[in-house]
Chains A and B, each alone.
Chain A
Amino acid sequence: MKRQAYPYFDMANVPDDLCPVAVRPNPMLPGEWRSMKPVVDRAKCVKCAVCWVYCPVQCVVEKPAWFDIDYATCKGCGICAQECPHRAIAMVEEAA
């Protein structure tokens, strides 16, 4: 099914003291406060998708030959590294 993006509702005709609604996404992303980040070893990855299934924030991204991590939303919880059956994911310290 083709995905279509809908624009957010236009609030121009609604008074701003009427009802609390939000139409702009929050730019704060959970990737900001990681202390450790997962790094995938492409050579070991066999695309079993276990990390993709277990990731609690769905930040595992499918590539043609491997799975990569979206660091904008990855919180660094380490579940993917823990669950990967091929030990292809290592948790490394985030540079701060």
Chain B
Amino acid sequence: MGPTTTLLEPEAKAPGFIVCDGNEAAAWAVALARVEMVAVYPITPQSSLVEYLAKLVADGTLDAEIVDAEGEHSVLSVLQGAALAGARTYTATCGPGLAFMFEPYLRQPGLRLPMVMSIVTRDTLTPQSVWGGHQDAMSVREVGWIQMYCETVQEVLDTVIMGFRVAEDRDVMLPVNVCHDGNYLSFGATRVDLPAQAAVDAFLGTPNINWHAALDPARPMAVDPLTGGAGGPGPRTFVRYRKGHCAGMQNALAVITEAHADWARHTGRQHAPLVERYRMDDAGIAIVTIGSMSGAGKDAVDAARDRGIPVGLVKVKTYRPFPTEAIVGALDGVRAVGVVDRSVSFGWNCGPLYQDVAGALGRAGRQVPSMSFIGGLAGADLTTDHFGGVIERVGQLALDGRSGPTVWINEND
């Protein structure tokens, strides 16, 4: 519990709607989710989010312990201690801050400790950049956190709350990254509807954090002892935990879907949980997008349709676990696919989402000409005009009949 503050009545806590940006929306979600401890360190473009958290705590709207740590490594370490003591926890970071907390970031999913962390996605440093991109979140995609990407500011608020439900589900027990685009969603202001506290309470229930591993004198145990090695039970023990983690990730697909459906029952807002199909019913070609770029993508699809081009858009919301079935199903029947990434995978010199999509299609035996488009790096804009060019190129791909080389959208901007 925090210092003595005036606790506001649940109904008074959250006015019906506000005009705010994604950072403030995330902070409101944390308050509504009744998070018990937040630890914070500022980093552009997340800084205002932690300032809003501090204000909500000071006002008594968020009844949480707030720890102003000296760096992100301590931020996440502090929260792990709190989670092992049973607290519902939250933080937000990005870019170099995410890099600084990499050690505890590796530990969290391995301990199957639930929490929600917002990544206000940003291109990683060097070339020196403070602007939006996805490189930071994409760089940590193999650590084993659940990752969901938001398209709108409203979705940021809704997904941070849903994140706790997914993370704390007994069949999941994994930490969740809710990613929202630096600059566009972090500072883009628009009308946001705040759900009633009673609805959020009914949706989330009480925290379910440390029934399986705890720092609790009443339940003495050693958390995360040395495991593995080549001798004795090492190999099979380690594999058992890794497979358990993977099982949790796969279970998350259904849990995420059910959480979104239940959220729609409480609020009337149904966000697509895994992937969203936009005008895919009679689509001859498709583009795949992720994050806030999808809005401009949809506008470009409408414009292309008006010109007679049978294009549709598939937006990925849940990126980890990767919804292979949903992606393959959504792309059923198309003759060419273009995947737009806001980050780079240096293995194939393409986008990371492209790799996952191509892999999923290949494994399903679908031979579809595909290509990767990389754009919007370091705050570069991805406009409807850019998407128009992407759609045209994918149309050409359908005629060529084979996959094409990576295109760097902003190369000449």
Binding site for B on A (CB under 8 A): 20
Contact = CB atoms under 8 A, between A and B. Distances in A.
B385 to A, nearest CB: 26
Interface residues on B, range: under 10
A20 B128 CA distance: 8
Contacts of B4: none
A80 B126 CA distance: 38
Contacts of B347: none
Contacts of A20: 126-128
Nearest to B128: A20
3 contacts: A20-B126, A20-B127, A20-B128
Nearest to B129: A20
A20 B127 CA distance: 6
Interface of B: 126-128
Nearest to B126: A20
Contacts of B128: 20
Nearest to B127: A20
A11 to B, nearest CB: 15
Q: Across chains A and B, which 3 residue pairs bring their CB atoms closest together, nearest first? A: A20-B127, A20-B128, A20-B126
A55 B126 CA distance: 32
B211 to A, nearest CB: 49
Contacts of B126: 20
A20 B129 CA distance: 11
B408 to A, nearest CB: 12
A19 to B, nearest CB: 9
A18 to B, nearest CB: 11
A88 B126 CA distance: 46
A5 to B, nearest CB: 26
B128 to A, nearest CB: 7
A70 B126 CA distance: 34
A80 to B, nearest CB: 31
B256 to A, nearest CB: 39
B204 to A, nearest CB: 45
B381 to A, nearest CB: 21
B346 to A, nearest CB: 14
A66 B234 CA distance: 79
A22 to B, nearest CB: 10
Contacts of B127: 20
A47 B127 CA distance: 45
A12 B126 CA distance: 22
A1 B126 CA distance: 37
Nearest to A20: B127
B250 to A, nearest CB: 41
A8 B128 CA distance: 20
A61 to B, nearest CB: 32
A20 B378 CA distance: 14
A13 B126 CA distance: 21
A14 to B, nearest CB: 15
B233 to A, nearest CB: 48
B267 to A, nearest CB: 45
